[in-house]
Amino acid sequence: MPMSYISLSDKEKKAMLDAVGIASVGELFRSIPEGVRLDRALSVPEPLSEPELTSHFEKLANHNRYSDFLSFLGGGIYPHFIPALVDYLASRGEFVSPYTPYQPEVSQGTLQAIFEFQTLICQLTGMDISNASLYDGASGAAEAVLMASRINRKTKILVARSLHPHYRQTIATYIRNLGLTAREMKVTPAGTLDLEDLESGLDEDTTAVIFQSPNYFGVIEDVAAISEIMHRHQALSIAVVTEPVSLGLLQPPGLQGVDIVTGEAQSFGIPLSFGGPVLGFMACKNEFIRQLPGRIAGQTRDVDGKRGFVLTLSTREQHIRRERATSNICTNQALCLLRATIYLETLGRNGLRSLAHINMQKAGYARQLLTGLEGVRDVFGGPVFNEFVLGFDRPWEEIAAELRDAGILGGLALGPDYPEWAGCALMCVTETHGKDDIDRLAAALKEALS
Amino acid sequence: MYPENFFYTKDHEWIKIEGDEAVVGITDFAQKQLGDVVFVELPDVGAELGFHQSLGVVESVKAVSDIYSPISGEVTGVNESLNDSPELINEDPHGEGWIIRLKIKDASEQEKLMSVDEYEKFLEGLED
């Protein structure tokens, strides 16, 4: 069998040109007018040899100093330990190389993984149906808002201020020309969604509220109370989860009246990288299945009666519904989805619960230790998962600079997104932080505040 | 095979006029073209429909098709059975598979519709 994947030789090229009756490759482009031809080589550097190229990329990669630091940064993307099994299985050629599973007869492995992921998401969120993933939590939040509006045909969306700033921005971008309006719901002094503001902000044209729990400040919301208020006014409850490890411990949104759950599954086996790629997920109640955007894998039987998997309910999608489709997304994050599935199945139910416990306890220890320091205060006070906000007697920018000099990325400044909490910082503590790491932060913070 | 007392449209809807009310569905030809119907998107009762305005959607395993109102009017009823048994459209398109009832707004629009003979002739033309 001839090798098909090596470059053409000049002899092979000449044979092809002769076969179509032209003298040069340039003649194939003769329909392009003279006036728009470049007539010179592209302004790109000369090719590099493999050793030169390797050296070039190594120099670029060495600009990354993140691994030099002890980091307590969270804010929507979280540092978690990834078992070697995830990289090992997910980098198998059978998983890394195939294209989208449109042909079920050659894609059963991929489709089974998607089906398992969907099942896991439903188990974790307590919802009936999940899609095959979206790009990220932010676009998931925007899609959820559009979905709610399609379901009840109402046009006002209430957006919690305690929802991640990037997600709020993304929602605003998506709804800009679609006749939907957003109204922001206040944050209470306890760091939660203001339920009174929510109830007074509702009217008969409100489609839903979209909120996050644990929210951007790490605070756990009263999800059931929010859902109850919305349903009493014939509107929907959309919960966003940016840290799904919390679902290993907290009650699932589906058991708290939530209609649509969406968010970020990056915590399940996907590295931080430079902020991506990540993994959006979305799940809903059974009655809304036809309004769910994205792909859905379904279980069925083949002609011999054997179980198999296919992409299903495709009539929601744009290749059939065109401008009336549920979304213009025509993809899913297959490889990240696979990593998340392997990660969750490696941990198992008990492992995830254990992991969630560890996260919560370590964050609790850090919070207690740090607020015990002079000049540090607990800003919100309520129950948190693995993130919390601290206030300081000295401008955060100054503290952060000193911590950086000590090799520590102490926390995310809240000021840029929340001027009302300027000078405060969001700290994240996970199972990747040892007691000695937390103690080191406390010592450096004490030093910076002395 | 097509009911004599119905009127028909080029988009293969049928309409049965009962005084100032009417019942609307899709024809046997349409259901054959669509294949197994799996879902019907029905309008709300009270919805106002213009002549040839989309009143909903019929979804089969392979296609999604708009249903156009053969006459203008207000929706007074929808066939709720289609929610659990969309296959009624395939099994009995001219009877149990009816889609909506409406109160006619402009009776003169009837002149734009085809009689059963005209529709059957229209179908023969399509098969050529």
Residues from chain A that touch B39, judged by Cβ atoms under 8 A, are 290, 315
- Tabulate helix, strand, coil % of chain B (nearest 5): 25, 35, 40
Looking at the structure, do residues A254 and A221 belong to the same domain, yes or no? yes
Q: Which of A212, A146, A147 is nearest to A178 (CA)?
A: A146
Can you give the pLDDT at residue A2? Answer: 64
Query: Which candidate, B15, B51, B29, places its Cα nearest to that of B121?
Result: B29
Residues of B in contact with A324 (CB under 8 A): 64
* CA gap A177, A262 in Å, rounded: 23
Tell me whether B10 touches chain A (CB under 8 Å): no
Task: Tell me, yes or no, whether A27 lies in a domain.
Answer: no
Enclosing domain of residue A358: 66-81+348-449
What backbone torsions phi and psi does residue A391 show, to the nearest 5 degrees?
-115, 155
pLDDT value at position A102?
85
When CB atoms are compared, the residue of A290, A320, A324 closest to B39 is: A290
Q: Which of A342, A374, A393 is the last residue of a domain?
A: A342
Q: What residue of B is the nearest CA neighbor of A318?
A: B64
Domain range holding B44?
7-127
| Judgement on whether residues A338 and A210 belong to the same structural domain of the protein | yes
Please check whether residues A306 and A370 belong to one and the same domain.
no
pLDDT digits (tens, 9 = 90+) for A153-202: 999 999 999 999 999 999 999 999 899 999 999 999 999 999 999 999 99
- Beta-carbon separation of B63 and A290 below 8 A: no
What is the ipTM for the molecules in this complex?
0.70
Q: Are residues A137 and A238 in the same domain?
A: yes
Q: What is the domain-level CATH number for residue A369?
A: 3.90.1150.10
- Residue A1: the pLDDT is 52
A388 C-beta neighbours (distance < 10 Å), count: 30
Bridge partner residues of A193 (DSSP): A187
The alpha-helical segments, DSSP class H, found in A311-333 are: 318-321
Give a yes or no: residue A22 inside a domain.
no
Contact residues, chain A, for B64 at CB < 8 Å: 315, 320-321, 324
Task: Report the C-alpha gap between B38 and B31 in whole angstroms.
Answer: 11
CA distance A322 to chain B (A): 10
Is B87 part of a structural domain of the chain?
yes
Per-residue pLDDT of chain A (450 residues; tens, 9 = 90+): 566 788 889 999 999 999 999 999 989 999 999 999 998 989 999 999 999 999 999 999 999 888 899 999 999 999 999 999 999 999 999 888 877 888 999 999 999 999 999 999 999 999 999 999 999 999 999 999 999 999 999 999 999 999 999 999 999 999 998 999 999 999 999 999 999 999 999 999 999 999 999 999 999 999 999 999 999 999 999 999 999 999 999 999 999 999 999 999 999 999 998 888 999 999 999 999 989 999 999 999 999 999 999 998 877 887 777 777 888 787 888 999 999 999 999 999 999 999 999 999 999 999 999 999 999 999 998 899 999 999 999 999 999 999 999 999 999 999 999 999 999 999 999 999 999 999 999 999 999 999
* A7 part of a folded domain: no
Question: Does residue B1 fall inside a structural domain?
Answer: no
Using the beta-carbon criterion (under 8 Å), do A320 and B63 form an inter-chain contact?
A: yes
Is B68 inside any structural domain? yes
B101 in a structural domain? yes
| One domain, residues A427 and A314 | no
Residue A137: give its domain's CATH number.
3.40.640.10
Residue A101 domain flag = yes
Q: Which residues pair with A388 in a beta bridge?
A: A427
Cβ–Cβ gap B64/A290 under 8 Å: no
Task: Identify the CATH number of the domain in which residue B93 sits.
Answer: 2.40.50.100
If asked whether residues A183 and A74 sit together in one domain, one would say no
Residue A326 contacts residue A147 (beta carbons within 8 Å): yes
Same domain, A358 and A293: no
Question: Considering only residues 65 to 124 of chain B, which have any Cβ-Cβ distance to chain A shorter than 8 Å?
Answer: none
CB atoms within 10 A of CB A156: 18
Residue A364, H or E segment: helix A334-371
Residue-level pLDDT, tens digit, chain B, 128 residues: 899 999 999 999 999 999 999 999 999 999 999 999 999 999 999 999 999 999 999 999 778 899 999 999 999 999 999 999 999 999 999 999 999 999 999 888 889 999 999 999 999 988 76
How many structural domains is chain B composed of?
A: 1
- Quick check: is A231 in a domain? yes
- A217 and A72 part of one domain: no
Q: Give a yes or no: residue A36 inside a domain.
A: no
β-pairing, A280-284 vs A297-301, is unpaired
> Does the residue B29 lie in any domain?
yes
**Are the Cβ atoms of B64 and A315 closer than 8 angstroms?**
yes
Residue B98 domain-assigned?
yes
Closest-CA distance, A296 to chain B, in angstroms, reads 15
In chain B, what residues touch A315 (CB-CB under 8 Å)?
Answer: 39, 59, 63-64
**Cα distance from A298 to chain B (closest Cα, Å)?**
14
CB pairs under 8 A between A and B: 9
Look at residue A3 in the predicted model and tell me its pLDDT: 67
Same domain, A285 and A266: yes
Measured between CA atoms, how close is B35 to chain A, in angstroms?
14
Q: What pLDDT is recorded for position B42? A: 93
CA distance A146 to A178: 9
Judged by a CB distance cut-off of 8 A, whether residue B59 touches chain A is yes
- CA-based nearest distance B66→chain A, Å: 10
- Structural domain contains residue A60: no
Any chain B CB within 8 A of the CB of A320? Answer: yes
Which of A288, A313, A342 is a domain's end point? Answer: A342
Under an 8 A CB cutoff, do A321 and B63 touch? Answer: no
Beta strand ranges found along A234-319 (DSSP E): 236-241, 260-264, 280-284, 297-301, 307-311
Is the same domain home to A144 and A256?
A: yes
Q: Which two tokens stand for residue A195?
A: 């339920």
Per the structure, the count of domains in chain A is 2
CB contact under 8 A, B64 and A320: yes
A240 and A309 assigned to the same domain: yes
Residue of A nearest to B59 (CA): A315
Residue B51 falls inside a structural domain: yes
Question: Model-level pTM?
Answer: 0.86
The reply to whether A47 falls in a domain is no
The answer to whether the CB atoms of A320 and B39 lie below 8 A apart is no
**Is residue A251 located within the same domain as residue A206?**
yes
